[in-house]
Amino acid sequence: MNILVTGGAGYIGSHACVALLEAGHDVVIADNLSNSRRETIDKIREITKKDIIFYEIDVKDTNKVEQLFNNHNFDGIIHFAGFKAVGESVNKPLEYYYNNIVSTIVLSKACIKYKVNKFIFSSSATVYGDNEVPFVETMDLMPATNPYGQTKAMSEKILMDAAKAHPDFSVSILRYFNPVGAHESGLIGEFPKGIPNNLMPYITQVAKGKLNKLQVFGNDYPTIDGTGVRDYIHVMDLAEGHLVALEKLRPGVHVYNLGTGQGTSVLQLLNTFMEVNDIDIAYEIVARRPGDIPISYADVSKAKKELAWTAKRGLKEMVRDAWNFEKNL
């Protein structure tokens, strides 16, 4: 298939491009590099030894998107492009709603106009909010009360309504849990701007000496050791999840959790990182981070049953590959 990957220069998108190219698909990337680097495109070529076409465009720009659809005969699109920092979304709500919602509308309109009938969307476990774990796809959504979470819930709804009105337009909504790690080559990975908000890049930057010590946000949650529990998933497993979601997409709208189904606490992740990589990480326990939920992990039975997909890589690979990428930067 010939696949348009928006946000393909970013963290998850670049790994998905590798998975697509290695499975024999052709890839066209559209990315405005607002949160990524041009070099990543060359790294994808280096890993896969395949060519990709890259357009540096904003996918909110209807004219540029239409030009793109005129230039290529796409079989499907994977839409990763978007802003993703929860804290920043509280301070810049309009930028978040504008970027994340308008891009989804412009791209889905183009798909319907040009009869590109496969649409894969990057959603997030944040749409489950405070539901009981494990999170199941059939639950009512309670997106976290931040603009980022709202943009994901709204984009899901927009795509569902579009698919209802256009029965040929098939949509797969993928709700990611906590993607971590990097491609095993160490050539592509996560490049957070400024001080990382997320746990794994924070740990790797302390390991590298870029940051002094990790702050663990709260140790009084009702969890195994009091620290927050999340479902960490290796980014290559996540990337492969997109491949099967695309290849097995049937008519209609389908929602899948992409996680491992395993919860891991902050201290468990930190200890695994220190053991596997043989590095000491300084840390201190501080107050809870406002807005955090205690526990998040996925029920992964739907993706297993319908897509025959499960995550294959464990925590050890996640911490090894995350460090392998950071240390080679």
Active-site amino acid positions: 148
Smallest gap from residue 213 Cβ to ligand UDP (A): 10
For position 81 contacting ligand UDP by CB under 6 A, the verdict is: no
Q: Which of ligand UDP, ligand NAD, none does residue 59 bind to, with CB < 5 to 8 Å depending on kind?
A: ligand NAD
Contact pick of 62, 215, 268, 310 for ligand UDP (by CB under 6 A)? 215
Nearest to 281 by CA among 217, 219, 207, 209: 207
| Structure-derived torsion over alpha carbons of residues 97, 135, 16, 189, reported in degrees to the nearest 10 | 80
* Residue type (1 letter), 316: K
Residues with Cβ within 8 Å of residue 71, at least 6 apart in sequence? none
Q: Which of ligand NAD, ligand UDP, none does residue 216 bind to, with CB < 5 to 8 Å depending on kind?
A: ligand UDP
Contact pick of 104, 122, 150, 172 for ligand NAD (by CB under 6 A)? 122
* Residue, CB closest to ligand UDP: 228
Nearer residue to ligand UDP within complex by CB, 55 or 177: 177
Pairwise CA distance, residues 28 & 259, whole Å: 26
* Residue type (1 letter), 49: K
* Residue type (1 letter), 148: Y
206-228 per-residue burial string, b: 16 or more CB within 10 A, e: under 16: bbeeebeebebbbbebebeebbb
For position 202 contacting ligand NAD by CB under 6 A, the verdict is: no
Task: Judge contact between 272 and 266, C-beta under 8 A.
Answer: no
Task: Judge contact between 258 and 298, C-beta under 8 A.
Answer: yes
For position 202 contacting ligand UDP by CB under 6 A, the verdict is: yes
Pairwise CA distance, residues 65 & 106, whole Å: 8
Q: Which among 73-81, 151-159, 183-191, 197-205 is the span making contact with ligand UDP, rule CB under 6 A? A: 197-205
Q: Which of ligand UDP, ligand NAD, none does residue 33 bind to, with CB < 5 to 8 Å depending on kind?
A: ligand NAD
For position 289 contacting ligand UDP by CB under 6 A, the verdict is: yes
Binding site for ligand NAD (CB under 6 A): 6-7, 9-13, 31-36, 58-60, 80-82, 84, 99, 103, 122, 124, 176, 179
Binding site for ligand UDP (CB under 6 A): 178, 197-199, 202, 214-217, 228, 230, 266, 289, 292, 296
